[in-house]
Amino acid sequence: MNKETRNNNSEQGSAKVKLAVVLSILFLLAHAGYNYIPVAYEGENFKQEMQTAVVQGMAVPSGITINDMVKGKLQRAMAANNIPPDAFVQVKQINNSVQAQVAYTKQVNMLPFGIYKYNYQFNHIATPTGFLLKP
């Protein structure tokens, strides 16, 4: 029951190289997630803020301009969610409802040292839904 063991010089040290490759890939994925997730979260949070502003605009009493009220709420939400100040904002009344559209592009560093930058594009149109639209 003698077992032969072979020592190949070319196979020694390959575990360290594989570990270094796996750790570098994990680092790159973590870096990309660390930079992308907050931007995506702010975008989704802003969508909710847009929907809230439009619904509240439908419930405004007469005498107050709906467009100005919705734009004011959107401006405050833009400041809270780190939306670029040069974003396209359009609020308009269609029939008996309000529609708000916001579009912007934000660069996200996906790889370290600015090697690759992803353009996060946000373009959302919010319209009120539900019981406020029923005659």
Instruction: Give the model's pLDDT for residue 97.
Output: 83
Instruction: Give the model's pLDDT for residue 126.
Output: 94
- E-assigned strands of the chain? 88-94, 97-109, 117-126
Residue 96 lies in a domain: yes
Instruction: Give the model's pLDDT for residue 132.
Output: 59
Instruction: Give the model's pLDDT for residue 108.
Output: 95
Instruction: Give the model's pLDDT for residue 10.
Output: 63
Parent domain of 23? 16-133
Residue 6 lies in a domain: no
Residue 118 lies in a domain: yes
Phi, psi of 119 (to 5 degrees): -90, 105
Q: In angstroms, rounded to a whole number, what is the distance separating the alpha carbons of residues 118 and 111?
A: 9
Q: Residue ranges of the chain with pLDDT lower than 50? A: none
User: How many domains does the chain divide into?
Assistant: 1
Instruction: Give the model's pLDDT for residue 135.
Output: 58
